Amino acid sequence: MVQKIALEEHFLAPGYEGYWRSTVGNVAPELASDLLARLTDFGEMRLKSMDEAGIARSVLAIAGPGVQSERDVATATRAARAANDYLAGEVQKRPDRYSGFAHLAMQDARGAADELERCIRELKFCGAMVNGHTNGQYLDHPSLYAFWERAEALSAPIYIHPTDPVAPSPALEGVAGLRRATWEWGFETGSHALRLVFSGHFDRFPGAKVMLGHLGETLPFLLWRFDSRAKLYGIKLAKAPSDYIKQNIMVTTSGMCSAEPLNCALAALGSERVMFAADYPFESAPEAGEFLDHAPLTESLRTNIAFNNAARYLGLNASC
């Protein structure tokens, strides 16, 4: 069993259940109750799951959407700060096993930038997890440039996590099984990342670091086509779209226990840009760990995916 750092591992702070409940309305009540128990546990259940998976360290983040669905900016700002302080307290209890991603009120770009800096410098977090759009505003919006300037200056990775789309796609109407995690969230989150690429965001912020789960939300599979269609439609960028994806985006294995997409991500992005995640408690950490332990990889590559890439990219050997 290879030692692992897990990067998409969720929790809930006090007062956050209401935000989270909106994402599990179509989940059986008993399953939702079990998930809530695991999200609010930092002890036996979580650590047992980590041990069974070979996870030495989990980087914890609020289960979305969190305050990004809050309409009152002041409330969102206070609640985000409280959640970060709460997580920092839990990390301090087990600094050998837990690290943190900041939760941010993206409704206020400068406020989010200040909170990100506080979380990096004072709380020793490793970056931030942003749960998709914020009340319909995506991360390429010009009003958020001040946030990206600070994130770039801090060299802080921003993990874009799925959320519900602004409006359900008519193409999925009447087929409930395709909603949310099955297909809808992947399309939504992949599209969010592509907005950053095609809008010229990475030309403005060449040092920006973005992370995606689920082995890149299908982006690695489509690199050639992105480049081809950008030429066709006359998209003016300093580089080909695939270059930004390869240079500014890292991906994790969260929710993807299959060799085929893993091999695609490795071939498309390079072995140094793929990292491990379990997506606890929404996926089985032991299953994710067992998959990586037995995937047909060289041992050096397995170790890099499991531990070394994350340690280097998030500075986990130093402050976290």
Contact 209, 250 (CB under 8 A): yes
Of the listed 108, 140, 164, 279, which one is catalytic?
A: 279
Q: Which residues are bridge partners to 102 per DSSP?
A: 128
Annotated catalytic, 51? no
Backbone angles phi, psi at 159, to 5 degrees: -90, 115
- Cα–Cα distance, 6 to 28 (Å, whole number): 27
Which tokens go with 80?
């985000």
Backbone angles phi, psi at 249, to 5 degrees: -120, 130
Active site residues: 279
